[in-house]
């Protein structure tokens, strides 16, 4: 879609601090629309994304807002006849309701079966909320009544809708009208809903409401990221240069070649090396499957980091996906995994880094300005972050976290140590994952040695995972056999009535240590009346006697 270049010279969106350059309002709306269109295309809802971008700041066409921004930025001094005290007006000039009203009032009269009105509500909510976070569409807000309804019904004299329509360029209004009048927009929107909720009678049940909420949040994410990106890139043009250097989709062949070379440099020597190679090869074989929800159940020591990375890279290539996310509960594991992955697939000659870490343990001195920018919206081929950040992105209020949500579309999402998922978040998590897989062409891999049964919850009516057929990647190797081969510790209870005397413990330990297969022995001091004795035997699991 081409940019709208015509613009009334009186209307500005931003003024750059460094050189006092002006960003015309029509340019900001047009460029934000282009970015939002690109992001929403992941759902085949590009026209709706562009509509949000075009109308999110439509209220800035009012003379009240222009007086505020020009006074605030120094365009007008105190001698100007229309000068206002910008400090007193900060946050008080409504510029986000006009666009919401325009969409709602334009689509709602077309309502015949409820579809147009639902679409109008979703789009209007995104625009009205783009500075505050999504407003409550359902409940009464602490006695304030129907928040959304009151916002849409706000007097035009206060939202300046009629004035903005009169001030906006004709070409701009014609483009908005073309997007609003095309009935295909409604059909496209409900095609996505149909994928999420095959039986529309369940649309307003618990799970259906979740899915409609996620779809609204996805469109909101597209708008927020587009708006923030365009505003920041006008203020710092080098950010635009940095973003445009990145390819639309990573060249997964490069990362795959580097990882395979790394794996080939680690020939199997010990028995456990051969087991790890089998696990890795099985992940490679299963990577060509279509997107869905899969599990990787491997005991500790089975080489999940390399195996899951191998799967993710080949799976992303096979399904033409844009990103890989590693979502891990503990920052200590994140740092360890990130180090392993960087050593495997990154090169000093890369124009852009492959891997972005985003977690609370990152030291500012270890971040580049590029990585700080990428952390704002997770614009990197491989993102390693925490479960807390994932949940924040999917469920938090405000605009900071939700900005990143659209990046989950067309991605591989690897959840490590999934058994640590907080119990209170289980249904929320399952509904979110089902949405991303069903509607956003995402693929999910749940990694752990102790796989939770998220597909068989006690209250399935609240949401549970819809696993793909033959979902366990290690099923072909036999999980029982795999766990037996990777068994690391055998515990033997040797407690006896009356307890052991020290000389008896010493005699027992000496007898065990003299056995030829024992490599070394560790005595753990007494705790009360108990003592552990560990024996590590060559090529055998560790034996722990509890006496």
For the chain (547 residues), the mean pLDDT of every run of 10, in chain order, is 48 92 95 97 94 97 94 87 85 93 87 78 95 79 70 93 96 94 84 82 83 95 96 92 87 97 92 93 97 95 94 98 94 86 93 85 55 79 94 94 96 96 95 96 96 94 95 95 82 80 83 65 52 56 69
Main-chain phi, psi angles of 332, to 5 degrees: -65, -40
Please count the structural domains in the chain.
3
pLDDT for res 114? 74
Question: Can you give the residue range of the structural domain that contains 497?
Answer: 488-546
Asked whether residue 123 falls in the same domain as residue 140, the answer is yes
- Specify if 4 maps to a domain: no
| Three-state SS at 205 | coil
Q: Give yes or no: residues 22 and 154 share one domain.
A: yes
Q: Are residues 373 and 454 in the same domain?
A: yes
Q: Is residue 38 part of a domain?
A: yes
Buried b (16+ CB within 10 A) or exposed e, 117-150: bbbbbbbbbbbbbbeeebeebeeeeeeeeebbee
Q: How many CB atoms lie within 10 A of CB 108?
A: 15
CA 234 to chain centre: 25
Judgement on whether residues 215 and 364 belong to the same structural domain of the protein: no
Mean predicted lDDT score pLDDT of the chain: 87
Q: Which of 245, 270, 294 is the last residue of a domain?
A: 245
Q: Is 122 left (phi over 0), alpha (psi -120 to 50) or beta?
A: alpha
Q: Which of 326, 351, 329, 352 is nearest to 339 (CA)?
A: 326
Is residue 5 included in any domain, yes or no? no
Are 75 and 160 within one domain? yes
The predicted structure's pLDDT at residue 5: 41
Residue 235 lies in a domain: yes
- Report the distance separating Cα 307 and Cα 277, nearest Å: 8
Q: What pLDDT score does 374 carry? A: 66
Domain shared by 352 and 398, yes or no:
yes
Q: What's the pTM value of the predicted model, to 2 decimals?
A: 0.87
Cβ(179)–Cβ(76) under 8 Å? no
Q: Are residues 414 and 540 in the same domain?
A: no
Same domain, 493 and 479: no
Q: Please report whether residue 477 resides in a domain.
A: yes
In this structure, are 221 and 284 located in the same domain?
no
The predicted pLDDT at position 228 comes to: 95
Q: Does residue 3 belong to any structural domain of this protein?
A: no
Is there a contact between 464 and 456 (Cβ–Cβ < 8 Å)? yes
- What CATH number is attached to the domain comprising 462? 3.40.50.300
User: What's the pLDDT score for residue 145?
Assistant: 62
pLDDT value of position 546? 72
* Shared-domain flag, residues 232 and 348: no
Say which DSSP state 56 is in.
Answer: T
Pair (64, 130) in one structural domain: yes
Does 399 fall in a domain? yes
Which pLDDT does position 108 carry in this prediction?
80
In a domain, 2, yes or no: no
462 in the same domain as 501: no
Of 460, 483, 506, which residue sits at a domain end?
Answer: 483
Q: Which CATH number goes with the domain that contains 36?
A: 1.10.3210
Q: Which of 214, 245, 276 marks a domain boundary?
A: 245
């Amino acid at each position: 879609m081409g940019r709208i270049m015509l613009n009334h010279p009186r209307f500005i969106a931003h003024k750059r601090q460094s050189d006092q350059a002006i960003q015309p309002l029509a340019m900001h709306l047009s460029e934000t629309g282009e970015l939002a269109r690109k992001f929403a295309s992941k759902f085949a809802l590009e026209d709706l994304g562009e509509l949000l971008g075009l109308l999110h700041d439509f209220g800035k066409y009012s003379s009240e807002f222009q007086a505020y921004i020009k006074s605030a930025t120094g365009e007008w001094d105190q001698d100007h006849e229309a000068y206002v005290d910008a400090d007193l007006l900060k946050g008080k000039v409504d510029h986000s309701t006009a666009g919401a009203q325009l969409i709602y009032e334009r689509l709602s009269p077309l309502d015949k079966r409820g579809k147009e009105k639902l679409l109008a509500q979703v789009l209007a909510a995104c625009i009205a909320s783009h500075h505050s976070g999504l407003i409550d569409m359902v409940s009464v807000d602490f006695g304030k009544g129907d928040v959304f309804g009151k916002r849409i019904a706000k007097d035009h004299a206060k939202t300046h809708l009629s004035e903005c329509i009169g001030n906006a360029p004709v070409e701009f209004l014609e483009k908005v009208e073309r997007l609003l009048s095309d009935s295909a927009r409604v059909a496209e929107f409900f095609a996505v809903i149909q994928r999420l909720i095959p039986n529309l009678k369940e649309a307003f049940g618990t799970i259906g409401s979740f899915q409609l909420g996620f779809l609204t949040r996805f469109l909101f994410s597209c708008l927020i990221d587009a708006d923030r990106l365009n505003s920041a890139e006008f203020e710092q043009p080098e950010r635009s240069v940095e973003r445009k250097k990145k390819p639309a989709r990573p060249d997964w062949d490069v990362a795959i070649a580097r990882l395979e070379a790394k794996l080939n440099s680690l020939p199997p020597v010990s028995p456990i090396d051969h087991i790890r190679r089998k696990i890795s090869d099985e992940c490679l074989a299963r990577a060509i499957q279509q997107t869905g929800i899969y599990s990787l159940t491997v005991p500790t020591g089975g080489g999940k980091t390399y195996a899951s990375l191998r799967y993710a890279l080949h799976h992303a290539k096979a399904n033409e996906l844009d990103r890989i996310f590693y979502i891990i509960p503990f920052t200590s594991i994140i740092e360890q995994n990130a180090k392993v992955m960087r050593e495997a697939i990154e090169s000093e000659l890369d124009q852009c880094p492959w891997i972005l870490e985003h977690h609370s343990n990152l030291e500012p001195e270890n971040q580049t300005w590029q990585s700080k920018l990428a952390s704002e919206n997770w614009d990197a081929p491989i993102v390693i972050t925490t479960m807390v950040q994932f949940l924040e992105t999917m469920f938090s209020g405000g605009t900071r976290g939700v900005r990143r949500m659209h990046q989950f579309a067309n991605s591989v999402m690897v959840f490590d140590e999934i058994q640590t998922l907080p119990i209170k978040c289980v249904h929320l998590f399952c509904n979110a994952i089902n949405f991303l897989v069903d509607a956003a062409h995402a693929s999910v891999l749940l990694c752990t040695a102790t796989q939770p049964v998220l597909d068989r919850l006690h209250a399935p009516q609240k949401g549970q995972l819809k696993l793909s057929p033959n979902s366990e990647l290690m099923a072909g190797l036999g999980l029982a056999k795999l766990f037996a081969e990777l068994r690391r510790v055998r515990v033997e209870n040797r407690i006896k009535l009356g307890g052991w005397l020290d000389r008896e413990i010493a005699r027992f330990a000496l007898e065990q240590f003299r056995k030829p297969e024992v490599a070394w022995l560790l005595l753990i001091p007494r705790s009360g009346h108990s003592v552990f004795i560990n024996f590590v035997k060559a090529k055998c699991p560790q034996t722990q006697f509890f006496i």
